[in-house]
Amino acid sequence: MLAGTGSDVGKSIIATALCRILKQDGYTPAPFKAQNMALNSYVTKEGAEIGRAQAVQAEAAGIPCHTDMNPVLLKPNSDHTSQIVLNGKPFGNANAYNYFRKEGKKKLKEAVQQAYNRLRTRYNPIVMEGAGSICELNLAEGDIVNMSMARYAGADIFLVADIDRGGVFASAYGTVMLQKPEDRERIKGLIINKFRGDLRLFESGRKILETLCGIPVLGVIPYYKDIYIEEEDSVDIAAKAFNSEKGKINIAVVLLRHISNFTDFNTLERDSRVRLFYTSNKEEIQKSDIIIIPGTKSTIADLIELRRNGVAQAIINAQRAGKTILGICGGFQILGAEVLDPNHIEGDTEKMPGLALLPISTTMEEGKVTKQLSFTFAKDKGVKQRNKMQGYEIHSGITIPYQGAALTSLFTKEDGADEGVIANGNVMGTYIHGCLDNAAFIDFLLSPFADKAAESKSLDYHQFKELQYNKLAEHVRGHLDMKLIYKILSND
């Protein structure tokens, strides 16, 4: 288990690296995180929902992702409540106080243990990941993801500490010493992450930590900037701010309060023809060539905010000026004439006018569509050599034509069903996440502005990701004592 002295210390990225390293060394590893909290999720081939981090780790391990790798997913609805996704399907909603109390956790605890049992019959070793800090003593009785899971699995724990944020000696020592004696024995080594500078300067620090904590420092991992692994959280996307460039197609992703599945834009962001940024500034949006409204966990709340801050009108003005507008999932719903919520799925607002750039109406419903799919351009129906593309759906709500309007479909699914809408030549909406991982759709989206960008070849995102996993594995392997790690895991 990769456990942490705190949140955002790099547990997920080191787990990803170890999945690839173990695969390279001839093992069949699989990731496991009993409980994850993230809006950035993914759909398995069975049509179930898991945290994006475990999907990335599975990809690094070279295996299909499965809900057993992340049996409990918490998707925040607000600062205080979350949707609980259990074994890939919505289980209910809970506020933080009720969820983290000991009472009521028995069912979830049994579910994560059963998922782990199934997983370990198929893969070896299991690369487990804890959540946040393993020293949340006030929440320990209701814990299903950290020490209680390590005890159940009989896991060796490698404690990850972030030296970049400071206080690494106190956080590492305090985390070890605050454990119960039997749990302390499980912690077999320290991994110091995000080191900046000359590693030789930390040699004495390494020895001090080993003396204080009574366990070896398994490695000191330098901070890196040139390796790109899909992120679990949207912490850093606001930093990708407006910077219009000549010779580039400028794309604004609207920075929604409840943005989800922002990994939809990873491929596009790395296209050499493009300058992509996130913004909620009206002027920046109107200066862009393409505006994308992304997915959201709270469509109506974000639509209300877009109207309040003037961004909705800025998008409408941009469309009238000939800019391209694309909505994905919740963004697709926002582009419609109205969003209805008669059963109060999202809140108290039962009806909210949309931007009316697409002639559609969406009604929120309790159920959720989750599936992977293949699709082609609707305009290519009847064409022998069609561009077959891949993506996935995760959405609530039913979308139909507004007041019987005739719709022009954007895509055709593999079963022949219509999907998405295109209107006025420059407004598009779709429920398909991952559509922008396909070179054919990116080229289609950029084509009206082709004269602005220097010619270049579309990015093969699969090859790009494989290269990044290998670079990450090389970086981490070069700074971890893998010989000692294998010795610990072999109980030698």
Q: Which residues contact 298 (CB under 8 A, 6 or more apart)?
A: 77, 78, 257, 258, 330, 346, 347
Q: Say whether 407 sits in a helix, a strand or coil.
A: coil
Which of 258, 329, 395, 435 is catalytic? The answer is: 329
Q: How far is CA 413 from CA 120, 210, 327, 362, 431, in A?
A: 35, 57, 18, 20, 12
Return the structure tokens found at 389.
């593309």
User: Exposure string (b/e) for 272-297, b if CB count within 10 Å is 16 or more?
Assistant: ebbbbbbbbbbebbbebbbbbbbbbb
By CB atoms closer than 10 A (0-12, 13-18, 19+), residue 471 is: middle
Residue type, 95: N
Q: What is the DSSP letter of 39?
A: S
Cβ atoms within 10 Å, residue 403: 9
Characterize the bridge pairing of strands 72-76 and 35-37. Answer: parallel
Which of 66, 258, 395, 433 is catalytic? The answer is: 433
Q: Which helix (H) or strand (E) holds 292?
A: strand 290-293
Catalytic annotation present for 344: no
Q: Say whether 45 sits in a helix, a strand or coil.
A: coil
Return the structure tokens found at 250.
């400028």
Distance between CA atoms of residues 221 and 190, nearest Å? 11
Query: Which residue, 259, 275, 270, is CA-closest to 328?
Result: 259
Catalytic annotation present for 135: no
Q: Please list the residues that pair with 276 across neighbouring strands.
A: 251
Distance between CA atoms of residues 482 and 216, nearest Å? 13
Characterize the bridge pairing of strands 427-430 and 324-328. Answer: parallel
Cβ atoms within 10 Å, residue 175: 23
Which positions are catalytic? Answer: 329, 433
